[in-house]
Chain A
Amino acid sequence: MYKILSIALNTFRESVREKIIVVALLFGGILMASAVFLSPLALGAREKIVTDVGLAAISIIGVLASILLGGALVHKEVEKKAIYLVLTRPVSRPFFLVGKLFGIMGAIALVFCAMAAVLVGTIAAGKGALHPVVFASMYLSLLETGVMCSIVLLFSTFTTPILTSFFALCFFAAGSMSNDLRAFAEKFGGAASKLVTGLFYYLLPNLNVFNLRHEAVHDLPFRAGDVALATGYAAVYSAVALLFACFIFSRREFR
């Protein structure tokens, strides 16, 4: 555990000192500011616009940061041979990956918290009500980012940063639409398409379970059980992705 924390701390330091973090924060800030400036156009719906754009910005920035920061996570270490300094010590390869995952998630959580604080501050400054569902939505977005981090880590163990980012984006897009794809196949597809979509449905992450933005914007009721279920789903999916990553990474040779 001590060694995992050391690797996580190193990865966290490396990530927060990357310019990409500043860019992500800047981009998120611009998105939120645009919501504030555009909200007068929607008469009487300022709070909804700010909440909607703010939550979307948090989710997008979180996912983008995980892809951009995590894409080069392992590749950069191998290319610079820095990984040799870790793996030639009494540190197992799975420990290395777990440490990396924790470190990158820590850095993204920091960005996440900063943006969440800005959103909460913006809503509060506009004398809007901070409903629990807003916090639940932010929490689920954080879980979604965690799942994306583990997917990015899986790809980064065996392919290049560009391909990692590409695959991760594909997973994100497909995962965000998995419910729709399945429903479409159920309604219009044949047996074969139902089988294929069913397979993808279970293989790809169902990112819809982390989307509570509609409820947050309109202050609709939400079930705590769904949030708990989403938490379990994120934990299991991340663990499975991490297991695959460890399996691939343990067999990898560093030529």
Chain B
Amino acid sequence: MTKPSDFQSPCGKWAATGGLCGFAGALNERGTRMNVLRVEGVKKSFRGDLTLARREVLHGVSFAAREGEVLGFLGPNGAGKTTTIKIILGLIRPDSGLVSVLDRPAGDASAMARVGYLPEMPSFYPHLSLAEFLEFCGRLSGVPGGKLPGRIEQVIERVGLSGSGELRLKVFSKGMLQRAGLAQAIIHDPDLLILDEPFSGLDPIGRKAVRDILVDLKAKGKTIFFSSHILPDMEALCDRACIIREGVIVKTVGLDDLVRLGEGKVEVTARGWKPGMLRGIEDLVESWGARGDEVRLVVKSQGKLRGVIEHLYAAGAEVLEAVNEQASLEDVFMEEIARPGAAPKRGAKREEAVLSGF
């Protein structure tokens, strides 16, 4: 997708090698995916409203998103997510560090033509109809005038707003506005999508609709970088997730890592539950719960699985399923937040992570 360039950065040529400046990306020519988005050692401080003293909010943020990857950006309120996103988009300048978007510096026009962005809690232009709004966004992104009407129709349908093209945005509900926001982000068919809290304020139906659109975009090979508090959605969509805390990336966790982080435990589901059935295997089982004639138990390790299954069959139960238990993103997130020194800073708003569904 992106060709290597000779774009000069302060630490030498980016040249899409990914190895420069400490990044672990790779060349397309090597058959591996290159980094579409690279953030290295970014620091940012802001001056207080009433004081001249500067407060550092990002203390050297580094991460990278590979081509075709869905990278989540997770952290408590005030951790620096939106500031990082704004730096990536060129809306804020970093004090130091490097940002590369599609192999170009942050805010570069040629890169921005291939980036779609959805801000958090967008408000847009209430005086415009949806079609007028998308036409405006499409023109600014350089979509040829001849292709625009067809593209607008296509995008409106894609986000599930068919029939609303002529409605003014001021009459849109929160969910409809979020979809309109997504529509403007994809009107020019970007290669990289940067979404700030795309599920914010949506009801379950709206969340599913947005999730489906993102799944579809992922299937088309788009790179998606998004921040969210909705952990189940993030877990369902992401290939990897960066956890930011107090302006520092404290962990980058892959979906595969979640199985490893499950510590080898196995969850077994069996039918034919009878009270007292687990007598004799208490030491092998970490926890269990029964509903109706089904019992679900967590075996402490894979080595103990055989013993448990044989015991269940001997007791007249039928084993329906045995799966490796994996840690949830919530587990990883809460562990990182609970780590010493991880308490939210004074003045930072409390995190209201949506933990339902785990």
- Cβ-neighbour of A2 out of B122, B125, B127, B139 (below 8 A): B139
Decide: B137 and A89 in contact? CB cutoff 8 A: yes
Decide: A85 and B139 in contact? CB cutoff 8 A: no
Decide: A13 and B127 in contact? CB cutoff 8 A: yes
Q: Once the chains are docked, how many angstroms separate the CA of A71 from the CA of B92? A: 24
Decide: B92 and A85 in contact? CB cutoff 8 A: no
Residues from chain A with a CB closer than 8 A to the CB of B137 are: 85, 89
- Cβ-neighbour of B128 out of A13, A88, A92, A255 (below 8 A): A13
Q: Once the chains are docked, how many angstroms separate the CA of A17 from the CA of B169? A: 14
- Of all chain A residues, the one with the shortest Cβ separation from B168 is A17
Q: Once the chains are docked, how many angstroms separate the CA of A6 from the CA of B139? A: 7
Residues from chain B with a CB closer than 8 A to the CB of A9 are: 136
Majority SS of interface residues in chain B?
loop
Say yes or no: is B140 at the interface (Cβ < 8 Å to chain A).
yes
Q: Once the chains are docked, how many angstroms separate the CA of A249 from the CA of B330? A: 41
Chain B 277-312: CB-based contact to A (< 8 A → 1; otherwise 0): 000000000000000000000000000000000000
- Of all chain B residues, the one with the shortest Cβ separation from A14 is B127
Residues from chain A with a CB closer than 8 A to the CB of B46 are: 255
Give min CB distance, A18 to chain B, whole Å.
8
Chain A 75-112: CB-based contact to B (< 8 A → 1; otherwise 0): 00000111011111111100000000000000000000
Chain B 102-135: CB-based contact to A (< 8 A → 1; otherwise 0): 0000000110110101011111110110001000
Q: Once the chains are docked, how many angstroms separate the CA of A14 from the CA of B184? A: 18
Say yes or no: is A254 at the interface (Cβ < 8 Å to chain B).
yes
Q: Once the chains are docked, how many angstroms separate the CA of A81 from the CA of B120? A: 9
Q: How many residues in A have their beta carbons less than 8 Å from beta carbons of B?
A: 24
- Cβ-neighbour of A81 out of B109, B110, B121 (below 8 A): B121
Q: Once the chains are docked, how many angstroms separate the CA of A121 from the CA of B83? A: 57
Decide: A10 and B112 in contact? CB cutoff 8 A: no
Decide: B119 and A86 in contact? CB cutoff 8 A: no
With contacts A10-B128, A13-B128, A85-B119 taken as known, whether A90 is within 8 angstroms of B113 at the C-beta atoms is yes
Chain A residues 7 to 21 lying within 8 A of chain B, measured CB to CB, are: 7, 9-10, 13-14, 17
Give min CB distance, B311 to chain A, whole Å.
60
Say yes or no: is B224 at the interface (Cβ < 8 Å to chain A).
no
Chain B 31-49: CB-based contact to A (< 8 A → 1; otherwise 0): 0000000000000001000
Q: Once the chains are docked, how many angstroms separate the CA of A89 from the CA of B132? A: 17
Decide: A89 and B121 in contact? CB cutoff 8 A: no
Residues from chain A with a CB closer than 8 A to the CB of B121 are: 81
Residues from chain B with a CB closer than 8 A to the CB of A88 are: 89-91, 112, 115, 117
- Cβ-neighbour of B140 out of A80, A91, A255 (below 8 A): A91
Say yes or no: is B141 at the interface (Cβ < 8 Å to chain A).
yes
- Cβ-neighbour of B109 out of A84, A86, A90, A255 (below 8 A): A90
- Cβ-neighbour of A90 out of B92, B110, B136 (below 8 A): B110
Q: Once the chains are docked, how many angstroms separate the CA of A82 from the CA of B109? A: 18
A10-B125, A84-B117 given; name 9 further pairs at CB < 8 Å.
Answer: A2-B139, A6-B136, A6-B140, A10-B136, A13-B127, A82-B124, A87-B91, A90-B109, A90-B140
Q: Could you list 16 A-B pairs, sorted by A, with CB under 8 Å?
A: A3-B139, A3-B140, A7-B140, A14-B127, A80-B124, A81-B122, A84-B91, A84-B117, A88-B89, A88-B91, A90-B113, A90-B141, A90-B142, A253-B92, A255-B46, A255-B92
